[in-house]
Chains A and B, each alone.
Chain A
Amino acid sequence: MTSIPRSDKLFFYALLPFAGIVLSIFILLLKILVENSLPIFIREGLGFITSNIWRPSETNSRIEYYGILSPIVGTFYTSLIALILALPASIALTVFVNEYVPHRFKILIVNLIEVMAGLPTVLYGLWGAFIFAPLLKDYVMVPLNNYFWFIPIFSCKPTTPSTMFTASVILAIMVTPFITSVIREAYEAIPLSYREAALGIGTTKYEYVKIMLTMIKPAILAAVLLGFGRVAGETIAVSMTIGNSFSLSMCLFEPGYTISSLIANQFGNAGFYHYMTYALYGAGFILLIIGLTLNSIGLYILVRWRKSLEET
């Protein structure tokens, strides 16, 4: 550090408060979530996440009980379905943009994907709730139930357009552009020598794409995990389309809850009850842990894959 001029050092110190702000916000978030959720964890223990009872009471706080199993399961369930739908679409879009679209239109398609990625989520929600959900019910959910009623996830009669299935499909639509951008970046980072090697042995396009996709498998896995983190945290569009009810069912055609839509719906009036606010902070804490874990693993895989690419 001796070679650094004094003024540069001063500048460094002048910048530190900004670093301090960022750091303290992060710590503050953890602090308020942990602090405010402690009472519920102490009171209910593991029951908080393993039971599906939501019993608020304005008059008698002793009978209040909050278990968020249904929102936790709902979060993972809708996210999983969304990713199962979004992954093939993302891979197809990547291949489409890089291999099949004429060069002139490539920029256009990429732009469309980016517009889609940034579109305000409330617009997805509005369209989903009023336009898409009724269509989905009449033309997808009812037929699936009619013909595949013996499969548990399609076993119940869809009675309302707002179901876990609707939310999953909307989430899939929303997350596809994001997953595509991660996969596409990896796809385009494959060194030219590999591409030439594959083409040089006379592969058809299909075989070529298959080889390329095999090479970026870790990046695809990372994209799925990062997408999972995004989907699990999405609030607005889900809360507008999922139906918001505590059900614990294998069947996709029932309304449900996710952790984030639970917070969105209940946090505003939780103050009327003694323990509900704590329960919602607890739910938020669990949501944060889920998000951070999935994202960290995803980023770790992505960084490791990039390094391995550089080394070879």
Chain B
Amino acid sequence: MKRLDRRIIMDRFFKYLVIVISLIALMPLFYIITSILVHGGSTVLKAGISFLYEPPPSPLSTNVGGIGPSLLGTILLMTITIIIGLPLAFFTAVLAVEYPNSIIAKFVGILTRSFIEIPTILIGVLVYTIMVLPMGRFSAIAGAIALALVSLPYMYTHIENALASIPWIYREAAYGLGLTKPKALFHIFMGIARRGIVAGILIGLAKASGETAPLLFTIGGSRHSYFQGLDKPIDAIPLLIYEFAQTPYNIYHEVAWGAALILLLIYLGVFATLRLLVKKVEL
């Protein structure tokens, strides 16, 4: 009887230990979100709606200004990243799924996935070396390419899963009609796998909106002027937060918190849409 008691006590103790540690592990998320809502909220309330389109303040000004150029930059970067990254992710995924027996396809599949393992700062260094140096200046297009490379493996994984999970009977039916592979892909498989493909796009958007390291040496952070051209410097919200947080000016810290609130809202919006589409999200 004594032995049984010890087992039950052990079981109880373990249960509470697991629950307490789990809650501690989840707490930072709530703490971060609350902090951003409180600090960012007060900044945005102070600045009003113009926070979304005004340029940032000067270090000693009392007026909060806004993050207009950076917000526009982030939206543009998200768009160009998808335009560049989606075809690359989609067609490598098609190659891997449709030609599973070819060695090239297998190799490229493994290689694309292994892009996840490259530290994102090195992607920034790579794009700096092959694009920014030859062009002689930072540019929006360099940033978008860096972001596309960072989001490539995530987009690829989702699209590949979607294409690979098309049931065989549909494939047989398509080929039974005498359709060639490209026709079957564009007319039938893409329709069946559209959720996965949209999920791939959304993952790309999430990465393109939130990544900072690939942008450090690529976009130049021109946060006082609006879009000037693809080959000209641009700014992004994460970069603004990173750089403003490291300055000693209080007004910049306030702007950084406000920008964090906007970034959080973009991220949560993308995540919620993604969640409605697919069961399992890999970020």
Contacts and interface: CB of A to CB of B under 8 A. Distances in A.
Given A100-B18, A125-B245, A120 B238 contact: yes
Interface stretch (A41-49, A126-134, A148-156): A126-134
B141 to A, nearest CB: 16
A292 B116 CA distance: 10
Contacts of A176: 25
A201 interface: no
A22 B88 contact: yes
Nearest to B149: A25
A15 B281 contact: no
A5 B180 CA distance: 8
Nearest to B121: A235
Nearest to B238: A122
Interface string A114-157: 11111111111111011110000000000000000000000000
B21 A88 contact: yes
Contact of A206 (B14, B28, B111): B14
A210 B242 CA distance: 43
Contact of B32 (A33, A114, A124): A124
A249 interface: no
Nearest to B282: A181
Contacts of A28: 126, 130
Interface in A24-65: 25-26, 28-29, 32-33, 36
A240 B120 CA distance: 16
Interface string A1-28: 0000101100110111011011101101
A196 interface: no
Interface stretch (A76-84, A90-98, A216-224): A90-98
A115 B118 contact: no
B87 interface: yes
Interface in B158-191: 180-182
A288 B125 CA distance: 12
Contacts of B92: 15, 18-19, 22
Contacts of A99: 18
Contacts of B211: 120-121
Contacts of A207: 7, 11
Given A32-B129, A92-B17, A127-B35, A121 B119 contact: no
Interface in B208-227: 209-213, 216-217
Interface residues of A, number: 81
B246 interface: yes
Interface in B17-36: 17-19, 21-22, 24-26, 28-29, 31-32, 35-36
B108 to A, nearest CB: 4
B147 interface: no
A281 to B, nearest CB: 7
Contacts of B39: 130
A235 B238 CA distance: 13
B1 interface: no
Nearest to B239: A122
A122 B242 contact: yes
Interface stretch (B51-59, B62-70, B263-271): B263-271
Nearest to B24: A89
A26 B24 CA distance: 39
Nearest to A208: B11
B242 A125 contact: yes
A235 B102 contact: no
A100 B94 contact: no
B181 A8 contact: yes
A233 B7 contact: no
A29 B257 contact: no
Given A5-B180, A204-B10, A267-B217, 20 more contacts: A15-B94, A18-B88, A19-B108, A22-B112, A92-B18, A92-B21, A92-B25, A100-B19, A113-B26, A114-B271, A116-B29, A118-B210, A119-B29, A123-B241, A125-B241, A127-B31, A233-B118, A240-B245, A267-B128, A287-B121
11 contacts: A15-B91, A18-B92, A19-B92, A25-B126, A119-B267, A121-B213, A125-B242, A130-B253, A132-B31, A236-B238, A291-B118
Interface of A: 5, 7-8, 11-12, 14-16, 18-19, 21-23, 25-26, 28-29, 32-33, 36, 88-90, 92-93, 95-97, 99-100, 109, 111-127, 129-132, 173, 176, 181, 204-207, 209, 229, 232-236, 240, 260, 263-264, 267-268, 280-281, 284, 287-288, 291-292, 295-296
